[in-house]
Amino acid sequence: MISIENTIISDDVYKVCFVCDLNKCKGACCVEGDAGAPLDELEISILEDEIENILPYLTPEGIKSIEEFGVFDYDALGHFVTPLINHRECAYCYFDEGIAKCAIEKAYEEGKVKFQKPVSCHLYPIRIENYKEFDAVNYHKWPICEKALVNGKRLNVTVYEFLKQPLIRKYGTKWYKELEQTIKSLPK
């Protein structure tokens, strides 16, 4: 493990090769699982402020789910998550040529909102567990991402390299540079 500032990063984050291949997985992380994507309170506030600008990008089922639950829901442990459609797919997803994509991100790309998407989505397959003294930064292994592991090995890109932009979004450029330097200094 690596410790930087108030984070502890698991070895898999810099040892596992991973690059999403949406043409193979079809965005399965947006439609599989037992709960929505993790949200923090600030993101909920942003979604509440921006929902009218996001609604045009949602499916009718997504709109219905948000009307029923609001912009967020709770998982089995009481954590904030995105609401789901039929206990399965994220209410914020839509489909483009059979690939699940994020309506929030589409609104962002078209300049309708300033919020790109939940950082937990942007960081996937990294999951962050917040503790009182530190954040645990872990790689989440999920069978639906097998093709991303193959693609990552083919391209020789590790999880932290693939997720450079979202890691910088979450922890800053200084933190990321320190992570890079620390990894480069590790024995081969």
Which residue type, as a one-letter code, is found at position 132? K
What pLDDT digit, counting tens, does each position of 35-77 carry? 889 999 999 999 999 999 999 999 999 999 999 989 999 998 9
What pLDDT digit, counting tens, does each position of 68-106 carry? 989 999 998 999 999 999 888 999 999 999 999 999 999
- CA 80 to CA 58: how far, in whole Å? 20
What pLDDT digit, counting tens, does each position of 147-168 carry? 999 999 999 999 999 999 999 9
* DSSP one-letter code for 17: B
Task: Give the pTM.
Answer: 0.87
- CA 143 to CA 147: how far, in whole Å? 9
- Cβ–Cβ < 8 Å for 58, 103: yes
Which residue type, as a one-letter code, is found at position 102? C
Query: What contacts 78, CB < 8 A, 6 or more positions away?
Result: none
Which residue type, as a one-letter code, is found at position 128? I
Whether residue 125 has a cis bond before it, omega within 30° of 0: yes
- CA 120 to CA 81: how far, in whole Å? 10
